Amino acid sequence: MSEHGAIRELVALAAADALDDKERRQVEAHLRTCADCSAEVDRYRVLASGLRRLPTPQAPPLLVERTRQQIQLQLSAATERATSPWLLGFLALLSWTLTVASWPILRMLTQGVASWLDLSFRTTWMTLLIYTMAGWAMGGAVALAVAWRRASGRRAA
Amino acid sequence: MSPLAGETEAARLRRGDPGAFEELLARYQHRLYRYLLRFVRDGALAEDLFQQSWLRVVQRISQYDPRKNFEAWLFSVARNLAIDHLRRYRPESLDEPLPGDSFGEAAEPSRAARLAAGGPSALDRVLERERSEKLDAALGSLPVMYREVLSLRFEEEMKIEEIAGVLSVPLSTAKTRLRRGLEHLRQALEAHGSEEHWA
């Protein structure tokens, strides 16, 4: 291909400012001596300028608002998902601590201080086990109720 | 366009900051909508894809590399969704001009053309709008592969390297599409005796 032919392939890209440095230097050198290619670049530049001036269609405000709401819901759900394991872990630990901590108080209230001296493995630890399980069952029921209420809220939104 | 445009907000969005999304939406809402409208030439579909694109951005923000251009990533997300849709429902539109896109016969001005920019006088405004309508119609008559590259280069002001990134093609392919897009656009305008009016 002649130099003229090769440069002709680049004139549209030159008008679009899409040439690399080497190509741009080649085109500029050629345009200094070729009125035909120079006029061709000008024609493409006019076209490029027209494309740059095309009006920008605006995103409808209702669409933007709808999108915003949808995304906020998505982000809230994601945040909830991210914090839930930590929160559950913390609540489980708290629940366990409270159960263990409240056990001596319960013993004291139900059987008196002397019961502290009762080291019968079966009596003491079986009661503690039942007491713990009852506490955890109650916590589970509350967690289920909260989850159900949140799910209802999301469905309503 | 700042080279860091959107990157800071995107990094904040990755950390789950809802305010960052608001800022990204405010910054890119019109540009993303325009790109999608140019791509699919259908307002309702562009709106649907607009919503899907933002949802996808939020869902996949963890996959975004903050060292890279957020804008190019955003447009490539939208493009992939648009291509998936066209492939599924209008596969012919990916290669050929869409049915009904007969340049020069559009009796009703396009949505984009109706929003023509103002000029110094009433006559100038009318002429400018007429030119925009013709150019918009000519652009719409091109196959989507040329339409999108012209929109990304001249409306979104993306560099050719960024365009290649959005299209996921080699730089040489992006350049070829840009050159052919301009050539086809010029031919479309010349075929209707419009090109000389662009001076």
Among A71, A74, A81, pick the best mutation site for testing chain B contact (most B Cβ within 10 A). A71
Q: What is the pTM of this model?
A: 0.68
Query: In this complex, how many residue pairs, one in chain A and one in chain B, have their CB atoms less than 8 Å apart?
Result: 122
Cα–Cα nearest to A131, from A156, A155, A157, A107: A107
Determine what percent of chain A is predicted with pLDDT higher than 70.
84
B193: left (phi over 0), alpha (psi -120 to 50) or beta: left
**How many domains are contained in chain A?**
2
pLDDT of residue B5: 60
What's the CA gap between A153 and A156, in Å, rounded?
Answer: 5
Kindly state whether residue B51 falls inside one of the protein's structural domains.
Answer: yes
Kindly state whether residue B137 falls inside one of the protein's structural domains.
Answer: yes
> Domain holding B46: CATH number?
1.10.1740.10
Q: Is residue B153 within 8 Å of A16, Cβ to Cβ?
A: yes
Residue B15 DSSP symbol = T
Give residue A121's domain range: 61-156
Q: How far is CA B37 from CA A24, B136, B139, in A?
A: 33, 12, 12
Cα–Cα nearest to B148, from B31, B3, B33, B40: B40
Residue A100, Cβ neighbours under 10 Å: how many? Answer: 13
Same domain? A41 vs A87:
no
What are the tokens at A22? 């080497």
pLDDT of residue A52: 92
List B residues 2-61 in contact with A (Cβ-Cβ < 8 A): 16, 18, 21-22, 25, 29-34, 37, 47, 50-51, 54-55, 58-59
Same domain? A82 vs A46:
no
How near does any CA of chain B get to the CA of A42, in Å?
A: 9
Kindly state whether residue B165 falls inside one of the protein's structural domains.
Answer: yes
First-to-last alpha carbon distance for chain A, in angstroms, is: 66
Residue B133, Cβ neighbours under 10 Å: how many? Answer: 20
pLDDT of residue A140: 82
**DSSP per residue over A142-157, as a string?**
HHHHHHHHHHHHHHH-
pLDDT of residue A73: 85
What are the tokens at B131? 């030119």
**Any chain B CB within 8 A of the CB of A44?**
yes
CA B141 from centroid of its chain's CA atoms: 14
Kindly state whether residue B179 falls inside one of the protein's structural domains.
Answer: yes
Q: Is residue B141 within 8 Å of B101, Cβ to Cβ?
A: yes
More confident residue, B33 or A81: B33
Crossing angle for the helix pair A61-111 and B18-40, to the nearest 10 degrees: 150
Mark yes or no for CB contact A51/B32 under 8 Å. no
What are the tokens at A134? 């009852």
Kindly state whether residue B12 falls inside one of the protein's structural domains.
Answer: yes
Tokens 């560099």 — which residue? B159
Residue B90: Cβ-neighbour burial (10 angstroms; 0-12, 13-18, 19+): middle
- For residue A51, the chain B residue with the least C-alpha distance is B154
Same domain? A38 vs A102:
no
Q: Is residue B138 within 8 Å of B105, Cβ to Cβ?
A: no
Whether the predicted pLDDT of A49 surpasses 80: yes
pLDDT of residue B114: 47
More confident residue, A7 or B171: B171
- The predicted complex's ipTM stands at 0.74
Tokens 């709106």 — which residue? B47
Kindly state whether residue B1 falls inside one of the protein's structural domains.
Answer: no
**pLDDT averaged over 10-residue windows placed end to end, chain B, 199 residues:** 63 80 91 92 93 93 85 93 87 55 44 48 74 87 92 93 93 94 92 60
Residue B170: Cβ-neighbour burial (10 angstroms; 0-12, 13-18, 19+): exposed
Kindly state whether residue B2 falls inside one of the protein's structural domains.
Answer: no
pLDDT of residue B31: 93
The residues near B38 (Cβ < 8 Å, ≥ 6 apart) are B139, B147, B148, B151, B155
Residue B158, Cβ neighbours under 10 Å: how many? Answer: 22
**HSE (side-chain half, CA atoms, 13 Å) at A108:** 6
Which pLDDT tens digit goes with each residue over A84-128?
677 778 887 887 788 777 777 777 776 665 555 555 656 667 777
Give residue B180's domain range: 7-198
Same domain? A144 vs A102:
yes
**Any chain B CB within 8 A of the CB of A81?**
no
Name the residue among A48, A56, A71 with its Cβ closest to that of B21: A71
In chain A, residues with a C-beta closer than 8 Å to the C-beta of B155 are 51-52, 54, 56
Same domain? A120 vs A73:
yes
Same domain? A108 vs A79:
yes
Same domain? A80 vs A35:
no
Q: What's the angle, vertex CA A126, arms to CA A122 and CA A132, rounded to 5?
A: 155
More confident residue, A51 or A82: A51
**How many domains are contained in chain B?**
1
Crossing angle for the helix pair B43-59 and A61-111, to the nearest 10 degrees: 30
Residue B60 DSSP symbol = T
pLDDT of residue B199: 42
Same domain? A77 vs A120:
yes
What's the CA gap between A101 and A106, in Å, rounded?
Answer: 10
What are the tokens at B40? 């699919």
**Any chain B CB within 8 A of the CB of A53?**
yes
List B residues 67-106 in contact with A (Cβ-Cβ < 8 A): none
**Any chain B CB within 8 A of the CB of A63?**
yes
Residue A106: Cβ-neighbour burial (10 angstroms; 0-12, 13-18, 19+): middle
Same domain? A71 vs A130:
yes
Torsion of CA B168, B173, B175, B176, to 10 degrees: -140
